[in-house]
Amino acid sequence: MTRGVLQFTPIDEDEAFLSWRIIKTIIAAGGGFMTDAYDLFVIGLLTKLMGRIYYPDIQHALPYAPSDLPNRSAYALKSVALIGTLVGQLTFGHMADLIGRRPVHIATMIIMIIGALGSGMSFGTTGDAIVGTLCFWRFFLGLGIGGIYPLSATVMSETASTKWRGTYVAAVFSFQGFGFLLAGIVTIILAAIWMPFDPSADFLWRTALSLACIPPVITLYYRIMIPETERYEVIVKGDTQTAAKQVGLDDPTVVQATGLKARGHTWGSFLRLYGLPLLGCACSWFLLDIAFYSQGLFQADVFTIVGWLPPSYTMNAVDEVYHVARAQLIISMASIIPGYWFTVAFIEILGRTRIQFMGFFFMTLFMGILAGMFQKLIDTHQVSNFIGLYALTFFFANFGPNSTTYILPAEVFPAWFRATAHGICAATGKTGAIVGSYGFGILKDTPTHNAGLQTVLIVLTIVNVLGLITTLPIPEPKGKTLEEMGHEVEDMSSMHTDESMEPPYPSMMGQPMFVNRY
């Protein structure tokens, strides 16, 4: 066999913008994010509903007083899924580098389906018992959702061409927007159905939570039908024959794997090369999730204070769910969903780090205006101005760091640690989400409620400023192959077709590489 310089192209760089192969991968990778966003959307609504159903003893004198879950139960329900997600991100991200992307990805989707169905069937004879059972299933659901983060990003980035890689990975993440949309529509429909009946509506929250299983059920088939990524087969496993079969090459063009750079695959060597980018990606995600999740969890309180929603005591349980869901759906359609698709449209034009820096900048600007003018906007009843500024912070979160913190770890790190590093960054982000949901919940629940929310806005402004700083050490992957970013390919101009050249990885000695021809 003739040995030659490696031209490592596991995918066709000239592939059409949207081939059926790419569409299937986007659907399979993105389905889990619909469940993630759906769950985030509905849980804040359903905790209010469950408070009225299972804790009527804490209601006030008025017939429709705003009863809610006890603080310990509300925070547990909102945070236990985040903790499960954190554990899933670390565990399944590392497993994906050890045993492969495909089997771990399938396992996470099955876990999500079971967790969603179990949430709707949570049992108990008291409110505390039901909340405890629901916490168990929400942790289980969180495990599956956590695995989706590193798996979906890694699978899509390793499948896409360099030219469109950012667009495709952003499209996968944009399924969160579809999840928000689905959650709003489903909640409004269910509330409208139950409104004429028993206002306790036990079946409403059970149905709403169970329906979270639909996206992973639909996309599981596509995930099963998609083989392991060629990059994992070739670079990590050194199995070029399997990779060649996956792309239908009975007689692949073969060259010796002399273009791949030998690296010591240890945590020490990884941290020496990628410690600073890992710190930048992880800290950016941590700070972003403090802001993003706290804003999402406390939307209803903000809308009530500014007068966009009627006070809780004027509505029964189902009325409140209906009105809050409608308000959140409007915000989602006006700012959150467009933000995702602006990222899809502009990421290969502006670049990842530029979009992230821009997003943090405008989030700082608009959050600072809200914090500084909070009381004036409330006192003068400038509802439209307040809601407009609030919506813009969501828009630039999604046309900004909420998207790019997910995309960058899938491109910056080498194949050997790609899913693990992504899982570490994502888990750091979820730590920020837990800090936001617990910490800002305490700040918000001060004796002077308005002052508490204003304090939250001030702190979030500072958090976004720090996000600007943590973006600086992250390299820009736009226009570069994953092998260039991972330092896995030597400079081709310095290489020769010398018979004496040694294969860099012992696992690949004597094995041919292939040039994929889709």
Over residues 166-176, the pLDDT tens digits come to 999 999 999 99
370: pLDDT strictly greater than 80: yes
- Numbers of helices and strands, H then E, in the chain: 22, 2
> Which residue type sits at 487?
H
pLDDT tens digits, one per residue of 238-271: 655 554 554 444 444 443 343 444 444 678 888 8
Query: In this structure, are residues 183 and 211 in contact, taking their beta carbons and an 8 Å threshold?
Result: no
| Separation CA 7–CA 513 (nearest Å) | 9
What confidence score (pLDDT) does residue 50 get? 84
Closest residue by Cα to residue 258 from 430, 486, 3, 21: 3
Assigned CATH topology for domain 20-491+503-514: Growth Hormone; Chain: A; (1.20.1250)
- Asked if pLDDT for residue 500 goes beyond 60, the answer is no
pLDDT in tens, 382-441: 878 888 898 899 999 999 999 999 999 999 999 989 999 999 999 999 999 888 877 776
Question: Residues 16-46: pLDDT tens digits?
Answer: 567 888 899 999 999 888 998 898 788 877 8
DSSP letter for 113, please: H
Max avg pLDDT among 51-65, 480-494, 502-516: 480-494
Beta-strand relationship, 512-514 and 254-256: antiparallel
Q: Are 45 and 321 in contact, with CB atoms under 8 Å apart?
A: yes
The residue type found at 133 is T
Where are the chain's structural domains? 20-491+503-514
Give the tokens for residue 239.
Answer: 């199995």
pTM: 0.84
pLDDT of residue 241: 57
Band of pLDDT at residue 377, cut at 50, 70 and 90: confident
Give the distance from CA 458 to its chain's centroid.
25
